[in-house]
Structure 1
Amino acid sequence: MSLVERIKMLCNEKKVTFAEVERKVGISNGQIRRWDNSSPKIENVQKVADYFDVSTDYLLGRTDKKRYYDLTEKDEKEVEEELQRILNNAETNFGFAAFDGKTPSETDKEDYEMYVSAMRDAIRLHKRLAKKKFTPKKYR
């Protein structure tokens, strides 16, 4: 997928046009479409990447990972380990995985799964925010 195709896909996701992106980032009209036939300035590619909150490597097709702070397989494994540690700790210290003061067997299974899912999402969000905050600029 070319640079322009990736930008077009991002525009469709965000429901904006090339012209709107060009105006917002401060590049000349029709510039993005010309990138199929000519090499863009790296500063302009960086501006577009910043606008869409993606990495320049993603725009240039060097990776399919949109953001440098997206979670890797290793990160996902760590999320699951942390979730299990929290659930085990709750069960060990309180005699149950705390959910409305009931054990998982007494709790509606669907409610308990939503509780665990919310905890998993919170751990993922925290991990992404930490990666975004603490990743050195040289890796962006």
Structure 2
Amino acid sequence: MRIQEIRKSKGIKQKELAAKLGIAANTLSQYETGNREPDLETIKRIALVLEVTVDELLDAKTKAPTLTKKDERDIEKKLADILADLESGQDGLMFSGESIDPTTRELLADSLRNSMEMGKKLAKQKYTPKKYRKED
């Protein structure tokens, strides 16, 4: 949420906004730092007092984590290992009782790659401390 950013851009003090909202300044501080989430009615009141839409207030403008070259290499290596393991089984990778064709193999590889990339990005987003997160 962009409460602090919008409040400061309008030159409103934290205590002043808290008083207009009828909440404690400490509660507002927790909303601004992300330590506490306001309910929907409070979000609407904050948007009304700050004269912005709820969408503008909620737009965090956070940049999704990106993968480094090392992350991409790791994913490709793990993917190659997984595909090699699948194909080196007793009869190799089978689909409907038949060996997998190159097109299906490529689709499987793409699906696994996308899943691994998404998992890596979600892990970065979840486990990167707030102070190190990149925001626009």
Instruction: With the length of structure 1 as denominator, give the TM-score of the two structures.
Output: 0.48
Higher RCO (CA 8 Å, separation ≥ 6 residues): 2
TM-score (structure 2 length as normaliser): 0.49
